[in-house]
Structure 1
């Protein structure tokens, strides 16, 4: 049995714990999808945090958190730092909050224009589809553009022949 009354995540180092993320279920509606992911943070001393994350409309939210021992409010805030990167990777949205120097900031990645950019868009789109993730979110993450701009880039990749046509032309 653990002796601590709180988990104290801020006092632990990254090598102390292991984060695992797995898809729980997905609901498709109209033109989009909502996906839930299970997240577990485990430590060698038996401490554990289980969370349920939901991805909808390009946003990741935590719906439920259970911890043994309990989390303080400070621990709850520190939990985001522990699970951000693995959860973002599992959701197919990348780590949008880190700049090239590893610091915070919404720095948009440099994306090539023209045929090379269209080919890369198609690669990201197909990779997300094969992984069972939302391909539009994957393109949004890779390019740093909005949903509307990402859909336009995907359309350009289709027109260039890098992706199959969306519907049969008459």
Structure 2
């Protein structure tokens, strides 16, 4: 496995870093991913695999690359428990290595997406990245959730519509 920095964006409170991750297997299979590390949150933005990954393999991809990503970021061993798992707070799901709060579906989820988005805007940070970290979803899925929150009326329209009278 190789992890190499792609780019970094400095913000007031810290930095957001993107990494190219490449896994090569003895049978010739390979996986390439673009991972984002921000505010202690790891997200996968893009994955390409040959042959295609099964859903089970895709669900554990973050587990495969988490350790090397932490090393590339210079995170200490005390940032992760002895067994490699985060300490889940009450009400958080514990599947996988990184526990995240369970994200509600439907109107409640859209409302929470809008709250995360607005809070990030007020703090002057990237609202899409804030939604990604809060939900644990990819950038594409997070943008879809933001659009659904806009359609539900929880966020203002992205572009003002012009009248064509």
TM-score normalised to structure 2 length: 0.47
Bigger Rg over Cα: 1
